[in-house]
Amino acid sequence: MGSDGFESKKLGGPASGGVARDSAMEAVTGLGDAANLIEVSGIIKWFDASKGYGFIVPDNGWPDVLLHVTVLRRDGYQTAYEGARLVVECVQRAKGYQAFRILSMDESTAIHPAQMLPPRTHVTVTPTSGLERAQVKWFNRLRGFGFLTCGDGTPDIFVHMETLRRFGMTELRPGQYVLVRFGPGSKGMMAAEIHPETGSPALSSH
């Protein structure tokens, strides 16, 4: 009997309202074992409200923590900007860690959309290449850019987040192959067009 009282208290809030909200959350997320809640701090890696979820990069080096929009909205937040710091209670599920409750969020470190794509970085690059197969060397979503390579002895190709978004892509992974047209720009060779390697326009022959 006593343990029941302890767990309902740990689930948080007064019995009226708080328990109902948590019950609704359990139905949505399948989270209900309060005994396994772990407090984690980290930063928002990315969050897409239209998809209904995003990920937190924990400070302790753990794998990314899934943040569902229902948790965000229930705890009084409309969205989560990339780079924002937060403290959450999370639980380990079959597919990894998942946020259960947001304890605090600090947006002073966040990169707001207007900051991510300043007008002066939005430049038009005239491609001088065909559609080439390139490999991602490095990409930082928070900084909003990265570099591609077509192989040893070729110049790195700068790719901006805005270029990705223009062609329906949201992220690049190191080692990933893409198809790109590029040309000279303010930062050396710059991507003018980019597509995933699969389901892309015809590749130029080498």
Same domain, 7 and 84: yes
- Whether the pTM exceeds 0.95: the reply is no
Residue 142's nearest CA partner among 50, 41, 40, 42 is 42
Same domain, 154 and 99: no
Same domain, 105 and 6: yes
pLDDT tens digits for range 67-116? 999 999 999 988 888 888 999 999 998 889 999 999 999 888 777 655 55
Give the SS3 label for residue 44. strand
Burial (CB count within 10 angstroms: exposed 0-12, middle 13-18, buried 19+), residue 88: buried
pLDDT tens digits for range 17-39? 443 344 334 434 444 455 589 99
Same domain, 137 and 74: no
pLDDT bucket at 182, cuts 50 / 70 / 90: very high
Same domain, 126 and 101: no
Same domain, 44 and 89: yes
CA distance 96 to 42: 16
DSSP output for 103-161: EEEEGGG---HHHHS-GGG-------S-SEEEEEEEEETTTTEEEEESSTTS--EEEEH
What is the chain's alpha carbon radius of gyration, rounded to the nearest angstrom? 22
Check if the beta carbon of residue 146 is closer than 8 Å to that of residue 169: no
The most confident of the ranges 9-13, 63-67, 141-145, 173-177 is: 63-67
Helix or strand run (H / E) with residue 194: strand 188-196
Output the six-digit token pair for 116: 């991510």
DSSP output for 61-95: SPPPEEEEHHHHHHTT-S---TT-EEEEEEEEETT
Mean pLDDT of the chain: 76
Mean pLDDT of 153-177: 87
Query: The CATH number of the domain where 32 resides is what?
Result: 2.40.50.140
What domain count does the chain have? 2
The terminus-to-terminus CA distance of the chain in angstroms comes to 73
Place of tokens 């009997």: 1
Sign of CA dihedral 159, 164, 170, 175: negative
Give the SS3 label for residue 58. strand
Domain that holds residue 93: 2-109
